[in-house]
Amino acid sequence: MASNPAGNGCRIGVLPDLLVNKIAAGEVVERPASVVKELVDNALDAGATRISVAIEDGGKQLIRVTDDGFGMTAEDLRLAVMPHATSKIGSDEDLYAISTMGFRGEALASISAVSKLRIVSRVPEAVEGNELRVAGKELVAAQAAGCPAGTTIEVRDLFFNVPARRKFLRAKSTEVGHINEQIARVGLAFPDIGFELTNNGRVTHNLPPSAERMGRIAKFYSPELAEALIRVERDERGVALEAFLAPPAQSRATAQWQYTFVNGRYIRDRYVQHAIKEAYRGLTEPNRHGVVFLFLTVDPHEVDVNVHPTKIEVRWADSNLIHSQVLSALRETLRKGSLPAALRPSTSPTPIEPAEQDRIRREAAMSLKALSPLRPSDPPKYQRLESAASTGRAMAEDRYPGKPGVDPTKVWKSLYGEPGNVESTPAEHAGTTTDVSTTMFPPATTARPRAIQLHELYLVTETDDGIVIIDQHALHERVIYEQLRDRITSGPLEAQRLLLPETVNVTSSQIALLETHGDLLRSLGIEATPLGSDTIAVHAFPSLLKDTDVVSFFRDLLDFLAIQPATVEGEAVLHEVLDMMACKAAVKAGDVLTDGEIDALMRKRHLIEGSSSCPHGRPTMLHLTKRELDRQFKRT
């Protein structure tokens, strides 16, 4: 047990100031981006109209924030770095109606405890400004200085006296990514303020003041994304709301594309998150997340921001009101059908027109006739076209001519490799008779297909004691996942080089992911390089996904990687990614399968037996026992 440094036998000691401040700093100053946030918040509170941020070495070496706000006097400077010193609140009541970004009076004290801090400031009325330098809480200099009106705060050598924290800082590019994200958040919240970001002497963002937010969304994220957004504005029951939302079809793999601000402050709030989720319910797949930028303005009395040191969480006076206002505004917008046709939600595959279905049926009949000596009046009862791989495939393709977007050999290839790869075809398929007349009317024992496909989605088959209904996508996804998992242990997945690289618009923090997850991407057969500060070029892609949209897969992948906590093992991330790939590569509802494919899939059905739901929590198969059926039919 530690004893009191005073040596008077008392076990409890009051901690020295610097240590107290370092502890406090641990809450507020996590990384360079948190310093940027605090300094920019201060500039906003000082009424700045232009704010410039300069960083060097990912902010580890230098962070400098310059504003044209109302500045500080020499006395202010001295107080500003003291703990619990603030000009923003003075009484209890103030705390319940915060209208500034800061109020805790802790940021500068915390930052000065863990870095070398220099502040230069002048109030507009004074002819001369003042400078203050502090290092690890130690006053280094306080003197008059010539400077423009406003304030410049420089933070050098962050965590120079907290080696443990310094060690936890990530690659420069990662830290720059976090800083960019902070700038993006304030930039979106305050479009009427000009922002500039300089990284190692190069201006990376220059945003003149603007009357609207859309332009900033385009700048920070992508013009493509901004174009798809629908704007909605409302002011009801004390909640003013402006939202930009993407149509359901553009939903993303994670919820990180949901930005919420209240009174200019970026927050994360579960009531709002839930309202967004509800608004998109039924319009997207259950595991997708809408893209929403939401700006709320409420009376400061209605929201308590004194919940968390970083002020990222709030408490609402009336959370139901917030929930219902957000939900109804978003829901109505999404439902209004004001979306351009191409962007309207598609929750189910586009149904085939009856005329088209007829045509397909006719053509299928013709091609079957051409192949077999069937009597014209004798429609095939069982289309068991199982055969050597190539014949089976040729016929399969004939059976579904013109069905858009369906590659009937997709399952086959994913299971057994490229066409003609007869060796890897299971014995039951290889070498079975190709005589169509006998396959049409085979002996009773093998006559019936192992399973039939219903509604282009469900595979139904008989079991010893009943029937099972399997979701074809879920099963195929599982099969591919198992294969990927086996295959990846013996080296990178097979990749396909793109003739022309595909470009993906990303945020600069996502670019950093290329580096952080370099090994993972290589093992998946993905080759991608940064192209400027907001674009990634994809040069090679896993062959397995060649029918998938490269851009959307890549975007989902980056979204997913971005939310992986640093503590998660690489292995766990890999398996999640394989899962995602399997989902993309698997047949979907609406994909017509050949009998060969159905059989091939059914042979692997043990893979989902015992796991009754897929990774997204949906059931994968349904088992109806004969006894249950009998009971339903009152046979017992």
**Using only C-alpha atoms, what is the Rg of the chain?**
31
From the list Mg ion, ligand ADP, none, pick the one residue 86 interacts with, judged by a Cβ distance below 5 to 8 Å according to partner type.
Answer: ligand ADP
For residues 309 and 466, which CB has a smaller minimum distance to Mg ion in the complex?
A: 309
For residues 108 and 322, which CB has a smaller minimum distance to Mg ion in the complex?
A: 108
Q: Which of 68, 75, 78 is nearest to 149 (CA)?
A: 68
Provide the terminal-to-terminal Cα distance of the chain, rounded to the nearest Å: 75
Return the range that interacts with Mg ion (CB under 5 A); candidates 58-66, 99-107, 123-131, 608-616: 99-107
For residues 192 and 378, which CB has a smaller minimum distance to ligand ADP in the complex?
A: 192
Cβ 107 to ligand ADP shortest distance, Å: 3
Q: What's the Cα-to-Cα distance from 588 to each of 6, 480, 554, 578, rounded to whole Å?
A: 73, 13, 19, 17
Cβ 303 to ligand ADP shortest distance, Å: 17
Q: Which two tokens stand for residue 36?
A: 């940027």
Rounded to an integer, what distance in angstroms lies between the CA atom of residue 463 and that of residue 352?
A: 32
For residues 78 and 170, which CB has a smaller minimum distance to Mg ion in the complex?
A: 78
Please say whether the beta carbons of 314 and 261 come within 8 A: no
From the list ligand ADP, Mg ion, none, pick the one residue 67 interacts with, judged by a Cβ distance below 5 to 8 Å according to partner type.
Answer: ligand ADP
Q: Quick one: which of 28, 72, 283, 521 contacts ligand ADP (CB under 6 A)?
A: 72
CA triple 470-474-478, angle to 5 deg: 115
154 binds ligand ADP (CB under 6 A): no
Please say whether the beta carbons of 474 and 601 come within 8 A: no
Return the range that interacts with Mg ion (CB under 5 A); candidates 105-113, 173-181, 379-387, 594-602: 105-113
3-state DSSP helix/strand/coil % of the chain, to nearest 5: 40, 20, 40
CA atoms within 13 A on the CB side of 527: 12
Q: Which two tokens stand for residue 451?
A: 């399973």
Cβ 50 to ligand ADP shortest distance, Å: 12
Q: Which of 510, 525, 519, 516 is nearest to 557 (CA)?
A: 510
| Residue whose beta carbon is closest to ligand ADP | 102
Site for ligand ADP in 89-148 (CB under 6 A): 102-109
For residues 194 and 392, which CB has a smaller minimum distance to ligand ADP in the complex?
A: 194
From the list ligand ADP, Mg ion, none, pick the one residue 132 interacts with, judged by a Cβ distance below 5 to 8 Å according to partner type.
Answer: none
Please say whether the beta carbons of 78 and 131 come within 8 A: no
Cβ 165 to ligand ADP shortest distance, Å: 19
- Specify the amino acid at residue 234: R
Return the range that interacts with ligand ADP (CB under 6 A); candidates 64-72, 157-165, 320-328, 499-507: 64-72
Q: Which two tokens stand for residue 38?
A: 């605090």
Rounded to an integer, what distance in angstroms lies between the CA atom of residue 195 and that of residue 289?
A: 30
From the list ligand ADP, Mg ion, none, pick the one residue 58 interacts with, judged by a Cβ distance below 5 to 8 Å according to partner type.
Answer: none
Return the range that interacts with ligand ADP (CB under 6 A); candidates 66-74, 194-202, 381-389, 402-410: 66-74
Cβ 18 to ligand ADP shortest distance, Å: 16
Cβ 127 to ligand ADP shortest distance, Å: 18
For residues 69 and 542, which CB has a smaller minimum distance to ligand ADP in the complex?
A: 69
Q: Quick one: which of 24, 25, 43, 51 contacts ligand ADP (CB under 6 A)?
A: 43
Cβ 83 to ligand ADP shortest distance, Å: 8
Q: Quick one: which of 34, 130, 151, 199 contacts ligand ADP (CB under 6 A)?
A: 151
For residues 238 and 309, which CB has a smaller minimum distance to ligand ADP in the complex?
A: 309
305 binds ligand ADP (CB under 6 A): no
> For the window 76-95, what string marks contact with ligand ADP as x by the rule CB under 6 A?
----x----xxxx-------
From the list Mg ion, ligand ADP, none, pick the one residue 103 interacts with, judged by a Cβ distance below 5 to 8 Å according to partner type.
Answer: ligand ADP
Q: Which two tokens stand for residue 399?
A: 């059976």
Q: Which of 565, 558, 584 is nearest to 222 (CA)?
A: 558
Specify the 3-state DSSP secondary structure of 267. strand
Q: Which residues contact 126 (CB under 8 A, 6 or more apart)?
A: 71, 73
Give the interface size with Mg ion as a residue count (CB under 5 A). 3
Residue recorded with tokens 């507009």:
124
102 binds Mg ion (CB under 5 A): yes
Cβ 76 to Mg ion shortest distance, Å: 13
For residues 43 and 513, which CB has a smaller minimum distance to ligand ADP in the complex?
A: 43
Q: Which of 192, 180, 205 is nearest to 37 (CA)?
A: 180
Cβ 414 to Mg ion shortest distance, Å: 55
Rounded to an integer, what distance in angstroms lies between the CA atom of residue 59 and that of residue 366?
A: 70
For residues 107 and 276, which CB has a smaller minimum distance to ligand ADP in the complex?
A: 107
Q: Quick one: which of 46, 276, 329, 602 contacts ligand ADP (CB under 6 A)?
A: 46
Return the range that interacts with ligand ADP (CB under 6 A); candidates 14-22, 63-71, 447-455, 597-605: 63-71
From the list ligand ADP, Mg ion, none, pick the one residue 151 interacts with, judged by a Cβ distance below 5 to 8 Å according to partner type.
Answer: ligand ADP
Q: Which helix (H) or strand (E) holds 121?
A: strand 116-122
Rounded to an integer, what distance in angstroms lies between the CA atom of residue 213 and that of residue 232?
A: 12
For residues 44 and 457, which CB has a smaller minimum distance to Mg ion in the complex?
A: 44
From the list Mg ion, ligand ADP, none, pick the one residue 597 interacts with, judged by a Cβ distance below 5 to 8 Å according to partner type.
Answer: none
42 binds Mg ion (CB under 5 A): yes
Q: Alpha helices of 317-471 — where are they, by DSSP H?
A: 319-335, 354-371, 389-399, 410-416, 436-440, 444-447
Q: Which of 38, 5, 6 is nearest to 24 (CA)?
A: 38
DSSP state of 256: G
For residues 109 and 504, which CB has a smaller minimum distance to ligand ADP in the complex?
A: 109
Q: Which two tokens stand for residue 268?
A: 């994360």
Residue recorded with tokens 């603007």:
210
Q: Which helix (H) or strand (E) holds 570?
A: helix 570-585
For residues 124 and 282, which CB has a smaller minimum distance to ligand ADP in the complex?
A: 124
Q: Quick one: which of 28, 80, 107, 479 contacts Mg ion (CB under 5 A)?
A: 107
Rounded to an integer, what distance in angstroms lies between the CA atom of residue 52 and that of residue 64?
A: 8
From the list ligand ADP, Mg ion, none, pick the one residue 106 interacts with, judged by a Cβ distance below 5 to 8 Å according to partner type.
Answer: ligand ADP
Task: Output the CA torsion 615→616→621→622 (10° steps).
Answer: 130
Rounded to an integer, what distance in angstroms lies between the CA atom of residue 566 and that of residue 170?
A: 10
Please say whether the beta carbons of 244 and 278 come within 8 A: no
For residues 79 and 230, which CB has a smaller minimum distance to Mg ion in the complex?
A: 79
Residues near ligand ADP (CB under 6 A): 38, 42-43, 46, 67, 69, 71-72, 80, 85-88, 102-109, 151
Instruction: Write out the residues near Mg ion by the rule CB under 5 A.
Output: 42, 102, 107
